[in-house]
A and B are shown apart, each in its own frame.
Chain A
């Protein structure tokens, strides 16, 4: 089954404790991206990757890091989480950017930073 898998789905952590949210897709997609969803703001892009070893900042990259060592994986790293990073996070992938209608999302990871 074609899918984007995120882990963990739910996480409560404390300020400053490093964490990683994993994302894996099995569709051989080149493009991957991370979004955060906050009330009244829709989905905002954090980082994206056009291919292996190619990553770039989205609209709200502060406090986040990513890596793309393999085509299927695109982890999101919070080196020192803060309460303003409490949010619902979505990983998404697409065969290639520009082919609209083909952005596939994971089920989401709800993060709470105390």
Chain B
């Protein structure tokens, strides 16, 4: 049973437009969330995080929104650039583990 879900396996967006990647979770004990970005043939790298005491965290072109009541978070990329094309994982630390979603492959088209 996946505790972190990313229901869109892939997403295509035009360069310059907004990319919205979604993540849902089932465990109400999760209180911190992270987004990792992964290019082919590389390991995931940390992108942005959010604590459950906030509903928004912004870092340059990247903003993460958290809706605790809906157990939903989203990553917004504005404006999207071709270099943003990658797989994005939503994750939550839990105990001695990080629980990862299955990932969403973002393609930003020039």
Residues of A at the B interface (CB closer than 8 Å) are: 4, 33, 35, 39-45, 48, 50, 56, 58-59, 90, 92, 97-98, 100-103, 105-108
| B45 located at the interface, meaning its Cβ lies under 8 Å from any Cβ of chain A in the complex | yes
What total of A-B pairs shows CB separation below 8 Å?
Answer: 58
| B4 located at the interface, meaning its Cβ lies under 8 Å from any Cβ of chain A in the complex | yes
Interface residues of B in 14-61 (CB under 8 A from A): 32, 34, 41-46, 49
Which residue in chain B gives the minimum CB-CB distance to A102?
B46
How extensive is the interface on chain B, given as a class?
Answer: 20 to 34
Residues of B at the A interface (CB closer than 8 Å) are: 2, 4, 6, 9, 32, 34, 41-46, 49, 89, 91, 93, 96-98, 100-103
10 cross-chain pairs, A with B, having the tightest CB-CB distances, nearest first: A105-B43, A42-B100, A43-B100, A42-B102, A45-B97, A101-B49, A105-B44, A107-B43, A100-B32, A40-B102
